[in-house]
Chains A and B, each alone.
Chain A
Amino acid sequence: MSALTIRNLTKTYANGVEALKGIDLEVKQGDFFALLGPNGAGKSTTIGVMSSLVNKTGGEVSIFGHSLDAERSLAKKKIGVVPQEFNFNQFEKVFDIVVTQAGFYGIPAPLARERAEKYLRQLGLWEKRDVQSRTLSGGMKRRLMIARALVHEPDLLILDEPTAGVDIELRRSMWDFLTRINQEGKTIILTTHYLEEAESLCRNIAIIDHGTIVENTSMRALLEKLQVETFILDLARPVESAPVLDGFEVWLKDSQTLEVAVPKTQSLNTLFVALADQQFEVMSMRNKANRLEELFVRLVEKNLAGETSA
């Protein structure tokens, strides 16, 4: 079953900006889906339409088969939204914010309090339940918005850059939390500027640029499109020049670091054998850039070039 179906969605703002130019999108139930795109591409507008914060100009949006036009209430019950900006009352207490949100969904107070406790505990905010939300750190505020979005137990959770400005430790604990609730059956749609986040969490991906979907596929299929991967190799001993290796391009970055472009047709084993033959001992290696990042940049540049030539 589809958790989200978007057909020919268009949005033109009052100032004439065409933010969405007829996008189609389908997200399966249980998926962990990445919606990526550069700033101003249309991601937040798409999420705004899904969550009823932006009026669409045309097209259809359905959540678990319920049309946002015809069965608005049923569709909205299925969605939880974590927006990009902090949008809670800064003067209210953490616990009250979550309980009040449950009330907006018609959840009676005793159950609302029970759920608020459950999610505040899961997100490590229970100790802060009685403090005014404005006193929380940035990371805590993000977690509060996740707790608030989950309190009515939606089947589809939409996260618009949930880890922006969050330190790496907290980011990783949020990844673990999101992975766990996805494994428990929640469908998740994520937008992020951290592409390693999308690569490690999401199974399917759509890339939006200038209001159109330029790629919509599985993460695996997308990564397979990468023809060349660049690695950084740290050597055990200093060398004077880069080795010449058949089938690989190699640059000496500094006396103990090599940069190697590995084509998709070559294996890493071949590379290491060739290096060992020339007495190069490799201590560690890493990708020069995130693989998804390389693809993302290429796709967006290609789209930009297409628009410019058109």
Chain B
Amino acid sequence: MSPREQWVAFLTIVTKEIRRFTRIWPQTLLPPAITMTLYFVIFGNLIGSRVGEMGGFDYMQYIVPGLIMMSVIQNSYGNVVSSFFSTKFQHSIEEMLVSPMPSWIILGGFVVGGMVRGMLVGVIVSMLSLFFTHLSMQHVFVTVVVVLLTAALFSIGGFINALLAKKFDDISIVPTFVLTPLTYLGGVFYSIDMLPEFWRTVSLANPIVYMVNAFRYGVLGVSDVNVYASLATIAGFVAVFFVIALWMLQRGTGIRH
């Protein structure tokens, strides 16, 4: 395929993905908006007013970046894992496999589709947060880069999960038993500096700590960890996961006999 044909093919997948999640917006865009509003009301307003300040900010302001990042993570992962697994389940993946599209375009198209949903939900949640608190972005570049990298990483993760999944149950195992605990323990609701030394050290092994803190640095200007080291680590994970996903796709893991 010529570069122009590859670009058309890539846009076709991205457009198809965006059309899919916008067509079913009550299942894809509305639930995170409602869930996060509840977080803002309960943890921010009701409980937050009793917690007081954290990291030099009122509690509501402190948790908003983490909650935005949590919705980006869940939605970018969820979009790709459900969309690609459905494609596999209905055998419509064969439409792509018979075409001359290289594997990296298939992977790239799904990943970008997942990133778009993750970031769109992130924007919706950010706008909702403005009803509850005031936010002013301190480091635009860091904020944008960390959101892009995080959305990319979890989209790729969702793709790998979908390749390995054999039944619908398999696509909910990782979000339920891995992503949710890591996110809740990833410094969304607290500063890891509050933890005893042992648990603080354990927390540093959680990659989501770096994403949440890098994003919080972008928005509020405070972080528990080194921001640029965090960005480099996330970028490294993106590269490694992309290579693994591409290798699996080319090999036909879970999609070819």
Contact B91 A106 (CB under 8 A): no
CB distance from B253 to the nearest CB of A (A): 11
Chain B residues with Cβ under 8 A from A73's Cβ? 1, 100, 102
Which residues of A pack against B, CB within 8 Å?
A: 13-14, 48, 51-55, 72-74, 76-77, 79, 81, 83, 85-90, 100-101, 103-109, 148, 152
Q: Does B202 contact A (CB under 8 A)?
A: no
Across the interface, name the chain B residue whose C-beta is closest to A102: B12
Q: Does B236 contact A (CB under 8 A)?
A: no
Chain A residues with Cβ under 8 A from B6's Cβ? 106
Given contacts A13-B257, A55-B257, A106-B6, is CB(A90)–CB(B95) below 8 Å?
no
Contact B8 A87 (CB under 8 A): no
CB distance from A226 to the nearest CB of B (A): 37
Interface membership of chain B positions 80-110, coded 1 if the CB is closer than 8 angstroms to chain A and 0 otherwise:
0000000100111011111111100000000
Which residues of B pack against A, CB within 8 Å?
A: 1-2, 4-9, 11-13, 15-16, 87, 90-92, 94-102, 252, 256-257
Contact B87 A106 (CB under 8 A): no
**Binding site of A, secondary structure by majority: helix, strand, loop or mixed?**
loop
Interchain CA distance A74-B11 in the complex, whole Å: 21
Interchain CA distance A175-B7 in the complex, whole Å: 37
Chain B residues with Cβ under 8 A from A101's Cβ? 95, 99
Given contacts A89-B92, A106-B1, A106-B4, is CB(A72)–CB(B98) below 8 Å?
no
Q: Which of A54, A81, A87, A103 contacts B91 (CB 8 A)?
A: A87
Across the interface, name the chain B residue whose C-beta is closest to A83: B94
Across the interface, name the chain B residue whose C-beta is closest to A101: B95
Contact B99 A89 (CB under 8 A): no
Across the interface, name the chain B residue whose C-beta is closest to A76: B100
Across the interface, name the chain A residue whose C-beta is closest to B23: A91
CB distance from A179 to the nearest CB of B (A): 24
